[in-house]
């Protein structure tokens, strides 16, 4: 994903990003602490070159004064940012990281390190920026694992870019004498796929005995790419991805219910046949 926003007049659907307000600071209340949080995070993005200095929301003259310590962090947030932290302040990578971290752990991390209430001093910034950097490096190294860790706080079975884990597999892989591959991992990817419907997953399972190893490996690649892409979308468009996940989970539940009905029907038929044999003295 590019760190630069496009400037051309043409709008590419791939470049349309969700604008999010991460923090809007009201007058009064815990204003001083929130001003510090906003300022610390933005200063860190300045240092990492993740802020969009072309944004009309960033006053370059005030940025220079902030860098030279000619203006306080609180005054910078009030005067340049108008007490608001939004997606429009960042380049794409900074925006993605903010969507992952800012509302999720940033506040609690800061308060664990600095206490419940703190002011926007440069000494305090030096303390909290170590934690921001740690979170950033973990997220950047493996966005899927980072997003999964976030999702698991609400659901222990949640997985980023995939459907939730299940106690037992939905499918059984049929014999495939001409190929050897990791069946457990294949089922994990296939059953966790968000894009494929239940019918499409069934067709993949049925095709396995006919597939060459090159085709199996290509499917592994497709599943990995899909997981990564959906993890990215889940970070930016969480509600939309969750809606699609729920639809796929319902398909699985409906499939399981049908299988139970068939199993019960088979049991009833077998019981009836046994009773018939006894009555006829067979």
- What are the DSSP calls for 62-114, one per residue? HHHHHHTTSS-HHHHHHHHHTTEEEGGGB-HHHHHHHHHHIIIIIHHHHHHHH
Q: Is the pLDDT of residue 266 over 80?
A: no
Same domain, 169 and 72: no
Place of tokens 């399981």: 256
pLDDT of 8 higher than 60: no
148 within domain boundaries: no
Q: Quick one: pLDDT band at residue 78, thresholds 50, 70, 90? A: confident
Give the mean pLDDT of 88-104.
Answer: 93
Q: Is pLDDT above 80 for 14?
A: no
Distance CA 219, CA 225 (A): 10
Residues 109 and 38 occupy one common structural domain: yes
Residues 257 and 170 in one domain: yes
Tokens read off for 189? 């990817």
Residue 125 belongs to some domain of the structure: yes
Mean pLDDT lowest for which of 79-93, 96-110, 118-132, 219-233? 79-93
Name which residue leads in pLDDT, 30 or 1.
Answer: 30
Highest mean pLDDT range out of 22-31, 69-78, 123-132? 123-132
* Residue 71: CB atoms within 10 Å: 18
Across 178-191, average pLDDT? 95
pLDDT of 13: 38
28: confidence class by pLDDT, cuts 50, 70, 90: low
Give mean pLDDT, residues 47-51: 96
pLDDT at site 4: 45
Q: Which two tokens stand for residue 161?
A: 């870019």
Q: Does the residue 242 lie in any domain? A: yes
Length of the chain counted residue by residue: 282
Last residue of a domain, one of 117, 141, 165: 141
Least confident of 13-27, 42-56, 118-132, 222-236: 13-27
Predicted confidence at residue 20, as pLDDT, reads: 86
* Predicted confidence (pLDDT) at residue 7 exceeds the cutoff of 50: no
Q: Is residue 267 part of a domain?
A: yes
Q: What mean pLDDT value characterizes the chain? A: 86
> Do 57 and 89 touch, CB atoms closer than 8 A?
yes
How many structural domains compose the chain? 2
If you search the block for the tokens 């029907």, which residue do you land on?
265
- In the predicted structure, residue 195 carries a pLDDT above the cut 70: yes
Q: What average pLDDT does the segment 7-22 reach? A: 58
CA-CA-CA-CA torsion sign (32, 35, 37, 43): negative
| Across 156-164, average pLDDT | 94
> Which of 201-210, 217-226, 232-241 is the least confident region?
232-241
Looking at residue 279, its pLDDT comes to: 57
Specify whether 59 is located in the same domain as 174: no
Same domain, 214 and 282: yes
Residues 177 and 233 in one domain: yes
Q: What is the pLDDT of residue 40?
A: 95
Cα-trace Rg, the chain: 26
Decide if 31 is inside a domain: yes
Tokens (6 digits) for 37: 């949080």
| pLDDT of 52 higher than 50 | yes
The closest of 105, 259, 230 to 170, measured between CA atoms, is 259
Do the strands 84-86 and 21-24 form a parallel or antiparallel pair, or are they unpaired? antiparallel
Whether residue 190 sits in one domain with residue 251? yes
Q: How confident is the model at residue 27 (pLDDT cuts 50, 70, 90)?
A: low
Same structural domain, 135 and 233: no
**Structural domain for 261, as ranges:** 155-282
| Per-residue model confidence as pLDDT tens digits over 98-157 | 999 998 999 999 999 999 889 999 999 999 999 999 999 999 999 999 999 999 998 999
pLDDT at 55 over 60: yes
């Amino acid at each position: 994903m590019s760190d630069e926003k496009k400037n051309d007049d043409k709008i590419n659907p791939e470049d349309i990003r969700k604008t999010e307000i991460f923090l809007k600071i009201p007058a009064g209340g815990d204003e001083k602490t929130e001003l510090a949080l906003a300022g610390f995070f933005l200063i860190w993005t300045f240092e990492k070159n993740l802020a969009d200095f072309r944004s009309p929301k960033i006053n370059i003259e005030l940025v220079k004064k902030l860098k030279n310590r000619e203006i306080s962090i609180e005054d910078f947030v009030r005067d340049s940012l108008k007490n608001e932290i939004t997606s429009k302040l960042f380049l794409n990578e900074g925006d993605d990281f903010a969507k992952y971290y800012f509302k999720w752990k940033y506040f609690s991390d800061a308060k664990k390190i600095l206490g419940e209430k703190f002011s926007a001093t440069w000494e305090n910034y030096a303390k909290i920026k170590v934690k921001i950097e740690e979170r950033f490096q973990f997220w950047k190294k493996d966005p899927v694992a980072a997003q999964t860790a976030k999702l698991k706080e609400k659901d222990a079975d949640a997985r980023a870019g995939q459907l939730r884990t299940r106690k037992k597999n939905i499918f059984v892989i049929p014999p495939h004498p001409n190929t050897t591959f990791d069946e457990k991992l294949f089922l994990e990817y296939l059953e966790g796929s968000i894009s494929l419907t239940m019918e499409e997953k069934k067709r993949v399972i049925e095709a396995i005995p006919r597939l060459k190893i090159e085709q199996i490996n290509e499917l592994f690649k497709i599943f990995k790419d899909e997981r990564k892409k959906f993890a990215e979308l889940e970070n930016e468009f969480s509600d939309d991805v969750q809606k699609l996940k729920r639809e796929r989970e319902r398909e699985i539940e409906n499939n399981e219910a049908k299988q139970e009905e068939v199993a019960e029907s088979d049991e009833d038929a077998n019981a009836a046949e046994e009773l018939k044999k006894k009555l006829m003295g067979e």
